[in-house]
Amino acid sequence: MKFAIATTLVASVSAAKCTGSTDPVVSAPQCYHAKAGALGLTETVDVTINDLTSGTGHFDIAGSGVEGFSCSSKEFTKAGQTISTDLSDCVPSTVSLSEIDYCSDQDAIKVKVKVSGVPFAITTAATRVDCAADRKSGSDIMWEEFTEKHAKNGDDSERKSIFMQNIDRILETNRKQDDYWFGVTEFADMTPEEFQASMLSGLKPSAERISLGVQQASEASDLPASIDWTTQGAVTPVKNQGSCGSCWAFSTVGSLEGRAQLAKGNLQQFSEQQFVDCDTDFGDLGCKGGLMDNAFKYAQQADICTEESYAYKGKGGSCATSGCAVGLKTGEVTGFVDVATNSEEALMEAVATGPVSVAVCAETLFQLYFGGVMSGLCGASLDHGVLVVGYGTDEKSGKDYWKVKNSWGGNWGEDGYVRMLRGKKGKGQCGILSGPPSYPVIAGSSVVV
């Protein structure tokens, strides 16, 4: 199974071809500069060759960004392309420079650097630059690249300070474990409190639940070892809710889309905006939050419009279903099923029959999640609605996971998905088992409760 994280890593580790082994002619200091990174993190490497005679010379080498270090007048030897030196007294233990090669045809220095907090080594080419020219630090480059992609959430200097605090948080998390990775997401210039207020205000629990029943774990159940509905035509592309607290609507629609496809053989995209605008009689509050079970009740008594005919706006408005293209007619949603709480087996059985809406506690780990099997501590105070679309086992770590579709766009996490640890007892990873999970029943499908 491949995810965005894999392609991100591969794209970041390769440098240009290195050819030629002739020694450079050094009559004055020669400067070389490189930047490299992944997960949105950047490390710069600056090399200055001060002298070189008969395969022996001296250079300065410095790094900034993820890790800062500075080595001055270090003796080195050169044999072919390979530069050998001892930097143990000036490079911290969190940095490893395992290869330094001079590429005479490109007049470049190839450096392989491994920095603690980035889960792989990066090979980059330092190209010749003017020694007198100003060069930006790794920290400045990270901030500039972030702001080029994402609108800032306030004053520039304040945002940069928060951003750098989150960089520290990313590195601290990544250095503690290697099951999952934090990285620079579009939320990296927000404090945790700002992130919660902006992105996690969309789930409103309700005491009243009128479902068709509760799906319990079956002792005789013969479950597949893994399942992924994204590969079986039952999951639409990842969408983006924006700053509207409509996660509940996206989770609801994802369940409806998947279950309708499995019942009718036709995958359609349904309208989240319809639920935001029109679902007002069952306790849901548009961009101020809602609950998937409430939305399933609305779907039982309404025609459900297609996404194309009732497009998402990211804000509430007047109900405008008149004239929309109907994807599900009134009565095709016959009810919904709650899944037994705190039961991994029951949720696996439910997911084996189709996508399932769940609620999670996203305040701790979701802001900067970039990839891997999320297994850190995150609490169980439910604040975000998402969609379980499968489960499996990570080939590298051997950890079992739930595959979960989020609604923050395809650039977040693993192509818009998160893999969450499966096998945690009680309420499950980030409360995923406690919602309770639920899914709609479409006319013509079979339900086991």
Catalytic residues: 247, 384, 406
Q: Is the dihedral of CA 258, 264, 266, 271 positive or negative?
A: negative
**Contact of 284 with 202, CB cutoff 8 Å:** no
**What is d(CA 97, CA 443) in angstroms, rounded to the nearest whole number?**
62
**What is d(CA 115, CA 41) in angstroms, rounded to the nearest whole number?**
10
**What is d(CA 198, CA 110) in angstroms, rounded to the nearest whole number?**
43
DSSP-derived secondary structure for 11-72: HHH--------PPP--SS-EEEEEEEEETTEEEEEEEEEEEEETTEEEEEEEEEESS-EEEE
**What is d(CA 268, CA 259) in angstroms, rounded to the nearest whole number?**
11
Q: 286 in helix, strand or coil?
A: helix
- Number of other residues whose CB lies within 10 A of the CB of residue 69: 17
**What is d(CA 247, CA 250) in angstroms, rounded to the nearest whole number?**
5
**What is d(CA 438, CA 430) in angstroms, rounded to the nearest whole number?**
17
**What is d(CA 332, CA 328) in angstroms, rounded to the nearest whole number?**
6
**What is d(CA 11, CA 22) in angstroms, rounded to the nearest whole number?**
29
**What is d(CA 374, CA 320) in angstroms, rounded to the nearest whole number?**
39
DSSP-derived secondary structure for 174-228: HHH-SSEEE---TTTTS-HHHHHHHHS--B---S----S-EEPPPTT----S-EE
Q: What is the DSSP letter of 319?
A: -
Q: How many CA atoms lie within 13 A of 103 on its CB side?
A: 19
Place of tokens 């090669």: 101
**Contact of 321 with 278, CB cutoff 8 Å:** yes
Beta partners for residue 72, in sequence order: none
**What is d(CA 427, CA 361) in angstroms, rounded to the nearest whole number?**
11
Give 194's contacts (C-beta < 8 A, 6+ positions apart): 153
